[in-house]
Amino acid sequence: MAGEEREPLGVVGAGWVGLVTAACFAELGHEVVVRDIAPGRIAALERGESPIHEPGLGEALARNRQRLRYTEDLGELLEAARIAFVCVGTPSTPEGDTDLSAVWHVLDELDSPEEGLVLVMKSTVPVGTGERIRARFDALGLAGVGYVSNPEFLSEGTALLDVTSPDRVVIGAFADEDGRRVAAVYEPLGAPIVHTDVASAEMIKLASNAALATRISFINEIANVCELVGADVQEVARGIGLDRRLGPHFLRAGIGFGGSCFPKDASALKQLAANSGYHFQLLSAVIEVNELQKRRIIQKLQAHLGPLRDRTIALLGLAYKPHTNDMREAPSLVIAPRLLAEGAVVRAWDPVALDEARAVLGGVVFAETLHDAVNDADAAVIVTEWPELLELVSSDVRDAMRTPLIVDGRNLLDPAAARAAGFTYEAIGRPLALVPHPPRAKEPARGLL
Ligand code: UGA
């Protein structure tokens, strides 16, 4: 793309979505001005430090240093760019609604934007937000300022690839011309572009995340039934996934979904429906299944160890998924306090998120190495499927543990290999080979025939 003239762009909010988007737009040849108000963040970016752990991001920011400018001043961004992508955080309120205060803060700052500016909403917002913002612009006499909903579908850990090779780009606009201007930014990517109305674009984002979360809770419930009836959920998922109508994705059973998106967006859609007079029963079940799934780890440990008081449990992998240092809604944040409440000693380890975990996980002992975490432990629990944890299956680890018990919350390991190495191995939705079958009764009990 180098050498081609491309429109300067603005990105408001240097979080996961903002920074990755800015790096990718710069890679496409745009000058990009990135604005953030978090103390120290702009200075760190100017020093060449990426505040988040995302594979390839640091390199992409460095490679495009000439095209990227960082500022705390929204005015500087608006002077340079006529298209501004809003990528600020929209967390949950305690009631499960969406907290839009960061979005409104940006709008409050836009006191006299020039005609021709297009504000592009990438932050995940409830359906109807665009309509409210349009009404506000119109009331202020800013009919010439455009508004476009352009939800983001990137996943942490593969964010750069997701942005540069998207399955689709969704563009919801009030005015076709605004939609076309934003679409032009994405055209070099060659992805299908879904032009639609603003409310539908907003709903596509929430519904996509809800559908993915539903698949995860579905396969987790199948896993729980597999445990009762002796089937293996990995085999079941493989068999389901080959049906082209269903596909193989998001059928990995485990201890449930976390992160800054699925829990928040599932709850936001449920609340949006409720606020509009509809009880979204399926989504309520999806959320409840996910909460219960994390807690199954405790029952599995108790089944092998009995009461957990004074038992040392190694919690392995603390970030909500591998290849990120993001602790938001990580299952470890539920499992660790539950173990502490049972009186266990919790040793926690993660290859990249230790500092972030220290800030939010109280009462646990942090181990600097995997070996320190498992040494003398009564059980090792795989909470996040970091590839480093494949090393668990070794005679060194087995000998270092007080009880060689692995509870694999992500079905990362090969059960046969783990058992062959001398571990008691328990996973999610897989046959429990080492729990002896109850002796077969000589005669069927009366009343069961
Ligand atoms: C998710 C969506 O996948 C993105 O499309 C979306 O843009 C993003 O939310 C967002 O709204 O910002 P992300 O949360 O980064 O992305 O990560 P995922 O890879 O989707 O994983 C989410 C959670 O589901 C993780 O805790 C993961 O362990 C869990 N998961 C995922 C499963 O338990 N099973 C699976 O089969 C897949």
Contact 59, 26 (CB under 8 A): no
Which atom number of ligand 1 is nearest to the Cα of residue 385? 28
H helical segments located in 230-280: 233-241, 262-275
How many whole angstroms separate alpha carbon 3 and alpha carbon 19?
23
Which atom number of ligand 1 is nearest to the Cα of residue 17? 12
Residue 135's identity, in one-letter code, is A
How many whole angstroms separate alpha carbon 350 and alpha carbon 130?
40
Give distance in angstroms: CA of 9 to centre of ligand 1. 28
Q: What one-character DSSP code corresponds to residue 92?
A: B
Query: Among 37-41, 63-67, 424-428, where is mean pLDDT lowest?
Result: 37-41
Q: What would the mean pLDDT of 139-153 be, rounded to a whole number?
A: 94
Q: What would the mean pLDDT of 144-162 be, rounded to a whole number?
A: 96
Which atom number of ligand 1 is nearest to the Cα of residue 156? 15
pTM of this structure: 0.93
Maximum pairwise Cα distance, the chain: 86
Concatenating the DSSP letter of every residue in 357-383 gives HHHH--S-EE-SSHHHHHTT-SEEEE-
How many whole angstroms separate alpha carbon 332 and alpha carbon 255?
10
The residues carrying an active-site annotation are 261
The mean pLDDT of the chain is: 93
Ligand 1 pocket test: which of 219, 262, 267, 383 has the largest number of ligand atoms within 8 Å of its C-beta? Answer: 262
* Two tokens, residue 311: 């038992």
* Two tokens, residue 419: 């058992």
Ligand 1 pocket test: which of 98, 212, 221, 382 has the largest number of ligand atoms within 8 Å of its C-beta? Answer: 212
Contact 316, 331 (CB under 8 A): no
Residue nearest to atom 22 of ligand 1 (CA): 257
Residue 316's H or E segment, with its range, is strand 312-316
In the three-class reduction of DSSP (H, G, I as helix; E, B as strand; rest coil), residue 308 is classed as coil
Residue nearest to atom 37 of ligand 1 (CA): 250
Q: What is the pLDDT of residue 114?
A: 82
How many whole angstroms separate alpha carbon 96 and alpha carbon 99?
9
Q: Is the CB of 16 under 6 A from ligand 1?
A: no
Give distance in angstroms: CA of 77 to centre of ligand 1. 31
In the three-class reduction of DSSP (H, G, I as helix; E, B as strand; rest coil), residue 422 is classed as coil
CB atoms within 10 A of CB 301: 24
Q: What one-character DSSP code corresponds to residue 231?
A: -
Contact 33, 77 (CB under 8 A): yes
Q: What is the pLDDT of residue 94?
A: 87
Model confidence pLDDT, tens digit, residues 8-30:
999 999 999 999 999 999 999 99
Give distance in angstroms: CA of 361 to centre of ligand 1. 22
CA dihedral 423, 429, 430, 436 (to 10 degrees): 70
- Which of 155, 150, 156, 158 has its CA nearest to residue 191? 150
Whether the per-residue pLDDT at 442 is higher than 80: the answer is: no
Q: What is the pLDDT of residue 433?
A: 52
Q: Is the CB of 404 under 6 A from ligand 1?
A: no
Bridge-based pairing of strands 146-149 and 169-173 is antiparallel
Model confidence pLDDT, tens digit, residues 194-218:
999 999 999 999 999 999 999 999 9
Question: Which sign does the torsion angle of CA 258, 261, 267, 273 carry?
Answer: negative
Model confidence pLDDT, tens digit, residues 314-371:
999 999 999 999 999 999 999 999 999 999 999 999 999 999 999 999 999 999 999 9
Confidence of residue 445 (pLDDT cuts 50, 70, 90): very low
Q: What is the pLDDT of residue 443?
A: 43
Contact 16, 50 (CB under 8 A): no
Compute CA 122 distance to the chain's CA centroid, rounded to the nearest angstrom.
Answer: 16
Q: What is the pLDDT of residue 88?
A: 97
Q: Is the CB of 261 under 6 A from ligand 1?
A: yes
Residue 256's H or E segment, with its range, is none
Which atom number of ligand 1 is nearest to the Cα of residue 331? 26
Whether the per-residue pLDDT at 434 is higher than 80: the answer is: no
Which atom number of ligand 1 is nearest to the Cα of residue 159? 15
Q: What would the mean pLDDT of 236-256 be, rounded to a whole number?
A: 98
* Two tokens, residue 297: 């780890």
- Which of 283, 273, 220, 269 has its CA nearest to residue 411? 220
Q: Is the CB of 386 under 6 A from ligand 1?
A: no
Give distance in angstroms: CA of 222 to centre of ligand 1. 19
Contact 176, 146 (CB under 8 A): no
Give distance in angstroms: CA of 216 to centre of ligand 1. 9
Compute CA 217 distance to the chain's CA centroid, rounded to the nearest angstrom.
Answer: 15
Give distance in angstroms: CA of 249 to centre of ligand 1. 11
Model confidence pLDDT, tens digit, residues 368-401:
999 999 999 999 999 999 999 999 999 999 999 9
Confidence of residue 180 (pLDDT cuts 50, 70, 90): very high
Model confidence pLDDT, tens digit, residues 52-100:
889 999 999 999 999 999 999 999 999 999 999 999 999 988 888 899 9
Q: What is the pLDDT of residue 437?
A: 38
Contact 221, 289 (CB under 8 A): yes
Give distance in angstroms: CA of 263 to centre of ligand 1. 10
Residue 393's identity, in one-letter code, is V
Concatenating the DSSP letter of every residue in 136-200 gives HHHHTT-TTSEEEE------TTSHHHHHHS-S-EEEEESSHHHHHHHHHHHGGG---EEEE-HHH
How many whole angstroms separate alpha carbon 216 and alpha carbon 229?
20
Q: What one-character DSSP code corresponds to residue 298?
A: H
Question: Which sign does the torsion angle of CA 391, 394, 400, 405 carry?
Answer: positive
Query: Among 122-126, 301-305, 378-382, 436-440, where is mean pLDDT lowest?
Result: 436-440
Whether the per-residue pLDDT at 151 is higher than 90: the answer is: yes
Confidence of residue 432 (pLDDT cuts 50, 70, 90): low
Residue nearest to atom 17 of ligand 1 (CA): 155
